[in-house]
Structure 1
Amino acid sequence: MHWLTRTGWIGNGIALIAGALITLTLAPFNIWPLALIACMTLYIGLSELSARHAAIRSWWFGLGLFASGTSWVYVSIHDYGAASAPLAFFLTVLFVAGLAFFLALFGWLWARFFRQNNHSTSNALAFAVLWVAIEAFRGWFLTGFPWLYIGYSQLHGPLAGFAPIGGVWLISFILALSSVLLLILLKNQQWQSRLTAALLLSILWVSGFALQSLEWTQPSGDPLSVTAIQGNIEQNLKWDPTQIEAQLLLYQSLTLNAAPSDLIIWPETAVPILKDQAQGYLNSMDRIIGRQDSALITGLPLRQNDDNGNLRYYNAITTLGESQGEYLKQKLVPFGEYVPLQDLLRGLIAFFDLPMSDFARGSNQQPPLNAKGYKIAPYICYEVVYPEFATKLAAQSDILLTISNDTWFGTSIGPMQHLQMAQMRALEAGRWMIRATNNGVSALIDPQGQISATVPQFQQAVLRGSVVPMQGLTPYLRWQSWPLILLCALCLIPAVLQRKLQRKGS
């Protein structure tokens, strides 16, 4: 155990491995008990370090987490960003090392302001509060990177019942808390502390299991048949002008050859030209779909003037047939859809000049889409990974929809992580989720976050199934994270009082 608390390469190496364990708790591995081991290892490793050394130790933990969990960034930069292998490797290392500083901040704050010199329940509560605070901060700072939250590990685990209560962050809080409570059972010599830890653990884990039997939402109509088209277009061909007509004909053919359905979904930028340039094609599809009494929803880029009269380009969703509405993407992917500091970076390397990398953000006051008389909450690709952002449209809707182009991930674990986060959004909202992607994973997800229908990845395929419109609000949709914020504030009170007592005693 002393190896974990000492400074130097041994302790940092153990932290590196512990951070990598979190990736194994998430899709596609789903070994969720490792989340408890990883958090417990970090907690022990920070127990005796100064604030500076705690920041270093936590940085190594973060390096292990992000190097193992987001290595697919290399594929995006090298295979599709036209960067050489050495440059792609350098940019990936820079990305991973930068993200690890969020964990370094965690370690410094913990050692400087929160840590007590004992394994107590108040210490456990403070550790959990700081953990979830850093997760939330990481999802907000500089547009955020809300990836690899430990709460996602419980999608199929005993704590899944807490997702409709407080979302993925509540589950992260409980996992971080449970890891220290388990340590108290093993290490604390005071029977009162061990008894308190045992009671809290029992209440939390039994409640999480019991809550899974509750149904927070109810059907608001008959099932709707769904057809989702997975075109499997190579990313290198997607924006090739000579391939555009072939792509449009492919989606038209796959749609017309499929049996008619209520909802037909095409993925992100399935129409790879601007909406005004594709208007003739869209009008033709509108007439065909309208005769079938169907609704078609597709992704495509469009251009229009903003409030200042400037012509801007948007990653968007449009509707045809028995549907109305248009949606402009709000959460843009840095470097993929816009370039930070573009006046300095554009032109330096090809990666900063990718096709469709100059999109503008859509308004944050957009209503849901309407199809077949029901409201549909639309999310384009990256947007579905933001917990709080997703709740706003979900609370106004009967069905959730996410369209994506995960070709950027290659054959890495990225698409499975992305799918898992979409599943969590369905569970949090208590609604069906339709997920249509270019090359997988396309799926229909039920209100319990489980996949009811899917098609193979990396294949041209047509997904068929049905979804049920749902009504009612889960506690998370109704109150979002405010109850969790209040809970965290209350949990800090014992830690603050205990720390003051320790300072007086010293």
Structure 2
Amino acid sequence: MKQSSQSSWWRYLGALIAGALYPLAFAPLNWWFLALISIAAFWLLLKQQASRCAAKIGFCYGFGLFGVGISWVYVSINTFGNASPPLAVFLTLLFIAILSLLFAFLAWAHRRFGAKFSLSGQLIAFSLLWLALDLFQSYSFISFPWLFVGYSQTGQAFAGIGSLLGVHGLTLYLVPLAILLAEALANRRINSAAMLGFIVYAVIGLGLSWWGISGKIEQKGALTVALVQPNTDQHQKWNPEYFAPIVNGLLQQTENYWGADLVVWPEAAIPAMDSQVDFLLDDLSTKAQESGSTFITGIPLRPDPEASQIYYAGIKMLGQQQVDYRKQQLVPFGEYVPMQSLFRGLIDFFDLPMSSFTPGDAKQSGFETDKAYLIPAICYEIAFSNLIQRLSSKSETAGGKAKPKAILTISNDTWFGTSWGPLQHFQMAQMRAIENGLPVIRGTNNGITALINHYGQVIDQEPRFVTTELAGLMPLTQRYTIFGQFGYWPLAVICLILVLTLGLNSFLRSRPR
């Protein structure tokens, strides 16, 4: 199937523009309908294309998508990784290009193998491929679960589907919706059958969303919380000269809040190994016990001071109970360096302070306090819906009795400056609330520090880039959700049914007539 050179270039440019529209559906703009338009345009651009040309279109689409959506990684590479602007641009573009290969593969596979299916079969296959790439992006060596189309629905009409099937289930719903829209508008005259399908499918989605958010609600008391936002300069954080000012500032900010049920410092708030600051931790634990508070701080953990190469990104809970949590999902190149024998020493970015963490054990549980069970997530971990759901489900038997639950996430998004990255990260925390029907307590270094309710709605938040505290009452209202109870098993069953449907579709089309 040959295409003229001019026609192909227009398709590549169209794919680049369509991809660039996609990130505008997420925070901070939240123009969610643009995600549907973007996917619809991508589908139409791939029509009747040879697989090789489709791969190029897919790469251009991915480059536009990630080029606009995650260009903020430049900030951490240049500003905090000390890479020169040309080198930082090169590394950012390289990262974007690697991720764009995912869409190149999707487009190639769609045209290489999807043509044997009917239109409905192609719709199913394309949607399953998109979902598969989301999962690969999350759980493979790439480990970058960003800009999934389901996040565009945070606070929007179809958000409740996340309570049933999680953010990946929203992807599997929204991609076919976009394709139906594309087919409805593909011709000069509206395709009435496809438009009817789009409307019916949208109504079904609204019904599913309503069902998802209508689960049983229980009010189980409240916590008084105090979240300290120190706004520590990342350039000063690991400089020993600034250790005393940083810690003294945190103590001064906290002084008026001892006595709250929960006092929280952000990720790596104390810039030292726990084994190096026993005196400080003992003092904080004593203050928490005497005041009746539970105190939580982010701090690097070194359980064995003799094993200098083994340390963890961690959370310490101090007070009546003393428990540690070790971060399981580490940030590539930020907290560990893949293939470090190859990359270490090449440039400063591959030798950032505290970039050799060890991942924590997957069998860890959360924090049980007198009033609640807290599900911990350190920064990047809030992006992994399966991890949060798994930690939440472990609380069902914790202590032998059911306690109200809340997700507690601490973060330090200072690495990404004033870019969109931290705002997209915050949107993920809201989706975790929607999925699990649980409130979220979010403490950060420089924002967004916030309290989020069981519908993913913000109760209260503090402005970014200021030294402040968020103190208030956190209702422990929680909502039953299918996803919170069963995780991704229902979605897996749906995918199996769709795969079997594809097989039947292929069989029927291959039979001699």
Letter in 2 for 1:39: I
Written as runs of structure 1 = structure 2, the 5 A alignment for 1:107-146 is: 107-115=107-115, 120-142=119-141, 144-146=143-145
Written as runs of structure 1 = structure 2, the 5 A alignment for 1:358-437 is: 358-397=356-395, 398-437=405-444
Asked if the contact 2:337/2:356 (under 8 Å) is kept, the reply is yes
The equivalent of 2:102 in structure 1 is: 102
What is the rounded CA distance, in whole Å, between the counterparts of 2:478 and 2:322 in structure 1?
A: 20
Letter in 2 for 1:322: Q
Report the TM-score when normalising by structure 2: 0.92
Secondary structure of the residue that 1:243 maps to in structure 2? helix
Q: How far off its partner does 1:501 sit?
A: 4.6
The equivalent of 1:203 in structure 2 is: 204
Letter in 1 for 2:15: A
Q: How far off its partner does 1:494 sit?
A: 3.9
The equivalent of 1:25 in structure 2 is: 25
CA distance 1:252–1:310, shift in 2 (3 Å): closer
Asked if the contact 1:72/1:409 (under 8 Å) is kept, the reply is yes
Q: Is 136-145 or 461-470 further displaced after alignment?
A: 461-470
Asked if the contact 1:301/1:313 (under 8 Å) is kept, the reply is yes
What is the rounded CA distance, in whole Å, between the counterparts of 1:343 and 1:162 in structure 2?
A: 44
CA distance 1:384–1:414, shift in 2 (3 Å): same
Question: Among 485, 489, 494, which residue is 1:478 paired with?
Answer: 485
Written as runs of structure 1 = structure 2, the 5 A alignment for 1:4-23 is: 8-23=8-23
Asked if the contact 2:21/2:34 (under 8 Å) is kept, the reply is yes
Letter in 2 for 1:48: Q
The equivalent of 1:454 in structure 2 is: 461
Secondary structure of the residue that 2:394 maps to in structure 1? coil
Asked whether 1:57 is paired with 2:57, we answer: yes
Secondary structure of the residue that 2:110 maps to in structure 1? helix
What is the rounded CA distance, in whole Å, between the counterparts of 2:329 and 2:4 in structure 1?
A: 39
The equivalent of 1:172 in structure 2 is: 171
Letter in 2 for 1:375: Y
Asked if the contact 2:41/2:182 (under 8 Å) is kept, the reply is no
Asked if the contact 1:22/1:65 (under 8 Å) is kept, the reply is yes
Secondary structure of the residue that 1:367 maps to in structure 2? coil
What is the rounded CA distance, in whole Å, between the counterparts of 1:309 and 1:231 in structure 2?
A: 31
What is the rounded CA distance, in whole Å, between the counterparts of 1:115 and 1:419 in structure 2?
A: 40
Report the TM-score when normalising by structure 1: 0.93
Q: How far off its partner does 1:147 sit?
A: 0.2
**Superposed CA offset, 1:179-235 (max 9, x none):** 112233345898666644543332223432x2365134423x321111000000010
CA distance 1:20–1:191, shift in 2 (3 Å): closer
Q: How far off its partner does 1:55 sit?
A: 1.3
**Superposed CA offset, 1:80-135 (max 9, x none):** 001111111110010010011111111111112224576x3333232222211211
Gaps spanning 5+ residues in structure 1: where? none
The equivalent of 1:239 in structure 2 is: 238
What is the rounded CA distance, in whole Å, between the counterparts of 1:489 and 1:4 in structure 2?
A: 40
What is the rounded CA distance, in whole Å, between the counterparts of 2:258 and 2:311 in structure 1?
A: 34
Q: Is 475-484 or 232-241 further displaced after alignment?
A: 475-484
Secondary structure of the residue that 1:359 maps to in structure 2? coil
CA distance 1:328–1:435, shift in 2 (3 Å): same
Asked if the contact 2:44/2:186 (under 8 Å) is kept, the reply is no
The equivalent of 1:341 in structure 2 is: 339
**Superposed CA offset, 1:262-318 (max 9, x none):** 101100000110101111011111111211100110000121249x97851111100
**Superposed CA offset, 1:480-504 (max 9, x none):** 1121122122223444444445455
Secondary structure of the residue that 2:160 maps to in structure 1? helix
Asked if the contact 2:221/2:477 (under 8 Å) is kept, the reply is no
Identical-pair percentage:
38
Secondary structure of the residue that 1:121 maps to in structure 2? helix
Asked if the contact 1:217/1:431 (under 8 Å) is kept, the reply is no
Secondary structure of the residue that 2:141 maps to in structure 1? helix
Secondary structure of the residue that 1:257 maps to in structure 2? helix
CA distance 1:115–1:31, shift in 2 (3 Å): farther
Asked if the contact 1:7/1:53 (under 8 Å) is kept, the reply is no
Asked if the contact 1:26/1:153 (under 8 Å) is kept, the reply is yes
Q: How far off its partner does 1:8 sit?
A: 2.3
Asked if the contact 2:62/2:99 (under 8 Å) is kept, the reply is yes
Q: How far off its partner does 1:335 sit?
A: 1.0
Written as runs of structure 1 = structure 2, the 5 A alignment for 1:300-319 is: 300-305=299-304, 312-319=310-317
Letter in 2 for 1:211: W
The equivalent of 1:35 in structure 2 is: 35
What is the rounded CA distance, in whole Å, between the counterparts of 1:149 and 1:6 in structure 2?
A: 32
Asked if the contact 2:295/2:319 (under 8 Å) is kept, the reply is yes
Asked if the contact 1:184/1:197 (under 8 Å) is kept, the reply is no
Letter in 1 for 2:177: S
Q: Is 163-172 or 229-238 further displaced after alignment?
A: 163-172
What is the rounded CA distance, in whole Å, between the counterparts of 1:54 and 1:162 in structure 2?
A: 31
After superposition, the CA RMSD in angstroms is 2.5
What is the rounded CA distance, in whole Å, between the counterparts of 1:34 and 1:325 in structure 2?
A: 45
What is the rounded CA distance, in whole Å, between the counterparts of 1:259 and 1:342 in structure 2?
A: 43
The equivalent of 1:280 in structure 2 is: 279
What is the rounded CA distance, in whole Å, between the counterparts of 2:115 and 2:174 in structure 1?
A: 18
